[in-house]
Amino acid sequence: MKKTAALSVDIVVIGGGSAGLSAAFRAAEQGVRVCVVEYEKLGGECPNWACVPTKAMLKAASLYHTMRRDGARFGVRAKGLTLDVHALMKRKDAVVDVITGSGKRMRKALDEAGIEVVRGRATFTGKTTISVGERVIKAKSFIVATGSREYVPPIDGVDDVPVLTFRDAVSLKRLPESIVIIGGGPVGCEFATFFAKCGVRTTLMHIGPQLLSREDAELAGMAAERLRDVYVGLVPKCKVLSLRKSGKRVCVTYQSGTATRKTVMVDAVMLATGRRPNSDGLALEKAGATFDAEGHLRIDAALRVAPRVFAAGDVTGEWQFTHVAHHAGVLAADNAVRSLRHAPPKRMRLDVVPHVTFIDPELASVGMTAEEAVSAGCAIDIKRFPVGALGRAVVDGKREGMFKVILDQSSGKILGAHLLSDRAGEVIHEVALAMHLGARWDDVASMMHAYPTYSEVIPAAMG
């Protein structure tokens, strides 16, 4: 067999997901020759299996749930209301197709930008070379953007039962009658919302005392109540001890705190126990990269992991969000190009990172919680306002929630903001922009806001 000729480029981007594609296009814009290595679908997990399909599924579930529970209150009644899972999934696939173009649109854009795509898995063979199957690729700089993978906890029997991951859950042909979801982070909470709103008996087991442990404790507690309100059973401080097959069902043995061990029989079990950087098999040590005691890449503020190697996205283990990956991909590309031109690197900023958990209502945050601000030695003021007092919330019948903003006592600058509300993911960006620009809280809150909108929560919290 004839051996494929070696390829030589300026920058190789390993991974064709959110971070990798952002990096590739950014680097190509600056006139360097770029190659992307990817073994799965272009676009990565967010548009194909995660963010996009789950939001399409949540939209359908919310519509069904609203019609069943609240339709009559609004004067809308429907007889024989049913959930057509096949049609739900068909629409989800159509949404994914519109956004991704089935991968063809992205491939065309890469071709038009002069970016070569090599299919396969990359392995470093030296500081300036990688191999992809039989092919050798040489580059002056590399950007590693290989994403992350599901973490499977060491539960007795986990390898012997058919547990679902989020990829499995977005591809179901039929819904189970009952499900246990293990993990109380954003993924677990969003899927618990989906299954419960579809009428599936749903239990969410999480290891800590607080659901959504990275969020403000007060609002996370309110979010837990809202999940219970849509019939999600919550089991905090829970250790899942074993999983056993029992016919077509699964027997889950667990212990909550110091309580007696219990078992529950369900049709399905889903793991939502977090993700780990996807760096296995890359042989990054051959490029000069090092790892900490937990196996995470050591990375500096310029996203450099070795003299010629940069990293971006979930593989870094930092803030595993698509928008962070996009931002980091651009910065990694800039720094890779700057290294070729012997220019000083830019630094990554992670002080203003808005993020949203798409439960009902949405929980959106940016910056520090009150606890984090106090731990950092800040003297703080806290402003609160109940969402239910807003005119728009009354009109929509969506009165659950709270807005909370954390201020530096001396300067009036915004340290963090947290909102549990319908459309919270949109509203939070006004506060994020203010933080990004270094604006004072009273400058933002004194601006006129349209009535009736959820954005009025900002001046309302001014008092």
The tens digit of pLDDT for each residue in 90-100 reads 999 999 999 99
Other CB atoms within 10 A of residue 70 CB: 12
> Rounded distance, CA 62 to CA 99, Å?
21
Percentage of the chain modeled with pLDDT above 70: 99
Binding residue ranges for FAD: 55, 146-148, 314
* pLDDT, mean of residues 257-274: 96
In this structure, are residues 7 and 35 in contact, taking their beta carbons and an 8 Å threshold?
Answer: yes
| Residue 112 belongs to a domain | yes
Whether the per-residue pLDDT at 195 is higher than 60: the answer is yes
134 and 19 part of one domain: yes
What value does the CA radius of gyration of the chain take, rounded to a whole number of Å? 24
pLDDT confidence bin for 297, thresholds 50/70/90: confident
| Residue 448 belongs to a domain | yes
> Rounded distance, CA 392 to CA 403, Å?
15
Binding residue ranges for NAD(+): 183-190, 274
375 and 296 part of one domain: no
Last residue of a domain, one of 273, 301, 328: 273
* Residue 360 tokens, joined: 């009902």
**What pLDDT score was predicted for residue 117?**
97
Last residue of a domain, one of 224, 258, 273: 273
Whether the per-residue pLDDT at 203 is higher than 80: the answer is yes
The tens digit of pLDDT for each residue in 20-71 reads 999 999 999 999 999 999 999 999 999 999 999 999 999 999 999 999 999 9
Binding residue ranges: 55, 146-148, 183-190, 274, 314
18 and 38 part of one domain: yes
301 and 443 part of one domain: no
| Residue 15 belongs to a domain | yes
* pLDDT, mean of residues 150-164: 96
223 and 249 part of one domain: yes
> What total of structural domains would you count in the chain?
3
Whole-angstrom CA distances from 462 to 126, 218, 385, 434, 449 are 58, 19, 9, 15, 13
260 and 325 part of one domain: no
12 and 146 part of one domain: yes
| Residue 71 belongs to a domain | no
| Residue 264 belongs to a domain | yes
**What pLDDT score was predicted for residue 4?**
65
Whether the per-residue pLDDT at 2 is higher than 60: the answer is no
Owning domain of residue 257: 166-273
380 and 453 part of one domain: yes
**What pLDDT score was predicted for residue 6?**
83
What's the CATH number where 309 sits?
A: 3.50.50.60
182 and 42 part of one domain: no
Q: Could you tell me where the DSSP H helices lie in 131-183?
A: 166-169
**Contacting residues for 84 by C-beta, under 8 A, at least 6 apart:** none
Whether the per-residue pLDDT at 400 is higher than 70: the answer is yes
| Residue 304 belongs to a domain | yes
* Residue 428 tokens, joined: 């939070």
Identify the H or E element spanning 7. strand 7-14
Whether the per-residue pLDDT at 190 is higher than 80: the answer is yes
* pLDDT, mean of residues 429-448: 94
* pLDDT, mean of residues 310-334: 94
**What pLDDT score was predicted for residue 291?**
85
| Residue 199 belongs to a domain | yes
Whether the per-residue pLDDT at 292 is higher than 90: the answer is no
**What pLDDT score was predicted for residue 3?**
55
226 and 265 part of one domain: yes
pLDDT confidence bin for 317, thresholds 50/70/90: confident
**What pLDDT score was predicted for residue 364?**
98
- The pairing of beta strand 178-182 with beta strand 232-235: unpaired
pLDDT confidence bin for 1, thresholds 50/70/90: very low
> Rounded distance, CA 458 to CA 431, Å?
8
117 and 252 part of one domain: no
In this structure, are residues 271 and 183 in contact, taking their beta carbons and an 8 Å threshold?
Answer: yes
248 and 112 part of one domain: no
**What pLDDT score was predicted for residue 425?**
98
Whether the per-residue pLDDT at 180 is higher than 60: the answer is yes
Nearest Cα neighbor of 205 from 185, 225, 219, 221 is: 185
What's the CATH number where 393 sits?
A: 3.30.390.30
| Residue 196 belongs to a domain | yes
